[in-house]
A and B are shown apart, each in its own frame.
Chain A
Amino acid sequence: MSTPAAAVGWFRAWLHAALFGFACAAAALSPSSYTPQTRAIALRQIYFTAWQVLAGYLLFAAVLSVLVVHITVAATFEFGLSGYAVELVLRAMVLELLPLLTALFVALRSGSAIGTEIALMRISGELDPAHATDAGPMQREFVPRVIASGIAVASLTVLGCTTAVAIAYAAIYGFSPWGLEEYLQVITHVFTLPALAGFLLKCTMFGFVVAVVPIAAGVSATRDAKSAPLAVMGGMVRLFFALGIIEIAALAAAYA
């Protein structure tokens, strides 16, 4: 494949994913998408994506926050900036690190599975007629998965961040109630309304792309069985970059 052709292919794949994303959003916003059938698919998807892994994920978040808190407190203490340790932990862990890790986790666990599933459906001819933005498969298969993915990411992020906030308190102040007032004060200082809105928007975007990009890649597979791995791989790479772009944009908006 020559370089210009590759560039064109790359561009078309992104365009396809973006168009598919818009179509999905439009379908998700239309009430006719919400049928008992789609609801069942969405429930099952949420169950597999979020509930099954909840305990392990929360454990991971707890261990990570203990480590990050210790490192941050030690480092800030060394530089004589321990007054900023709590704020730093909250900003780094809760606002930035955990949402991104959650999105990556869901992408690795469910995004790849969804992409493969859709590609296989495509190969087996379940998604006829051929046009992916057709209302049939879009409402029947895609919308519930996208919504479920978004909810799963939001759920895991919220619960993971809550765990991290609680663990960080215990790691910084110990199990004493007297640091609570100061801690809550720092929390209100960090989570301003714009920060909360940005956080919410970022998490929504994460959940959305985690579902949309792999599905778009799965749809782009042809009837040829050999196209499935290629399509899924391309989808995962695009997903990674999409998550990165969202994170960078969020950071730029918040701090630049």
Chain B
Amino acid sequence: MAEPQFTPIPRNLQFRVGLLIGLTVVIAVGFVFFVLYARGTFDQTQRLVLVADNAEGVAIGMDLTFSGFPIGRVRRITLRDDGKARILVRVPVEDARWLRTSTIFTLERGIVGAPKIRAFSANLKDPLLPNGAERPVLRGDATEEIPRMVASLRALLENLQNITGPGGSVQASLDNVRTLTERMAGKQGALDALLGEEDAKQATQALDRVNKLLTSLGGVSQRLDATIAKADARVLGQGGLVDGAQQAVGQMNAALGEVRDNLKRVEKILADAEAVSGNAKAATADLGALRAEVDASLRKVSSLIEEINRKWPFERNSEIRLP
């Protein structure tokens, strides 16, 4: 034996090697059983036959999915006598409840990746799909769209080329923009660009005239200033309008003072008048008594006259002259 002598051989070598081999065997066998189990080898399955126009890309072992979950697996693909593809799918009995008589099967092929077989059950209350049922497959193929897409894309590109090519509208617009910016950079600047050469000149002249106008307006405003200063002097200066007004106000104040005195006197007069009227009231009361007396006297006179009349029958004139 030429085993390296410097490496000591442990005493439990048999145990360690046994452990290693045992672990390996357990993992390997366990994995194989797991895969077999997970692939449904021990499940009871039912058959489902899907009929497609074209089974391109469909491979044995592919999943049939329902709502994104694999519920079955392709077992066999054959070509029928009528030229259609027959895809045999095995569905575990447990998962067959998702498949109803109204279920629709689709075979969709994307641009990338394998095609997908999908099942759509709109009504899960419909009767269950029987074992061995044969159903057509609806196909959706993204790659079939590509030629049409390419054709329209080419048309689009041609249009783009026409727009951007020499003589195209984009080119023309760019030329216009260039002219515009060139004129903007010129002597008359943006005005030239906006109004054109002639109009720009006129505009410039108009601006000049406006400038002149503004200058003369400046003179006018100076003169106006002088006038206002004079008016100020007239109104506010010595002997001006305001001065006179001030004097008038003084005189008016004096007059008002006199008026106030007069009013005081009137007040006194009114007080006297009040006293007079009080006397008059008393006098009026006396007059009542006087009148009563006069009344009494008159009644006496009248009775006297009646008596005289009775005693003096010749004179029928009963008119009496009051004093």
Contact = CB atoms under 8 A, between A and B. Distances in A.
B35 A151 contact: no
A15 B38 CA distance: 44
B113 interface: yes
B280 interface: no
B35 A196 contact: yes
A155 B18 CA distance: 11
B282 interface: no
B24 A155 contact: yes
B27 interface: yes
Interface stretch (B6-14, B191-199, B208-216): B6-14
A44 B14 CA distance: 8
Given A43-B14, A196-B32, A189 B20 contact: no
Q: Pick the 8 closest A-B CB pairs, nearest first.
A: A188-B38, A155-B24, A158-B24, A117-B2, A46-B17, A43-B17, A191-B35, A188-B39
Q: Among the interface residues A47, A54, A151, A154, which one has the most CB atoms of the partner chain B within 10 A?
A: A47
B24 A154 contact: yes
B1 interface: yes
B20 A46 contact: yes
B18 to A, nearest CB: 9
Contacts of A81: 112-113
29 contacts: A43-B14, A44-B9, A44-B13, A46-B17, A46-B20, A46-B21, A47-B9, A48-B4, A48-B7, A50-B20, A81-B112, A81-B113, A83-B113, A120-B2, A158-B24, A158-B28, A159-B24, A159-B27, A162-B31, A187-B35, A188-B39, A189-B61, A189-B63, A191-B31, A191-B35, A192-B39, A193-B35, A193-B39, A196-B32
The SS class assigned to the A binding surface is: helix
A21 B31 CA distance: 30
A248 B4 CA distance: 35
Given A43-B13, A188-B35, A196-B35, A84 B24 contact: no
A158 B14 CA distance: 20
Given A155-B24, A159-B27, A189-B61, A47 B35 contact: no
Nearest to B62: A189
Interface of A: 41, 43-44, 46-48, 50-51, 54, 81, 83-84, 117, 120-121, 151, 154-155, 158-159, 162, 184-185, 187-189, 191-193, 196
Nearest to B112: A81
A154 B23 CA distance: 11
A48 B21 contact: no
The SS class assigned to the B binding surface is: helix
Interface of B: 1-4, 7, 9-10, 13-14, 16-17, 20-21, 23-24, 27-28, 31-32, 34-36, 38-39, 61, 63, 70, 112-113
Given A43-B13, A187-B35, A51 B20 contact: yes
B16 A192 contact: no
B247 to A, nearest CB: 103
Contacts of B38: 184-185, 187-188
B17 A51 contact: yes
Nearest to A162: B27
Contacts of B21: 46, 151, 155
Contact of A159 (B7, B23, B63): B23
Nearest to B1: A41
Given A44-B13, A154-B28, 9 more contacts: A47-B13, A83-B113, A120-B2, A151-B24, A155-B23, A158-B28, A193-B35, A196-B32, A196-B35
Nearest to A141: B1
Nearest to A124: B2
A48 B3 contact: yes
Nearest to A165: B31
B228 to A, nearest CB: 83
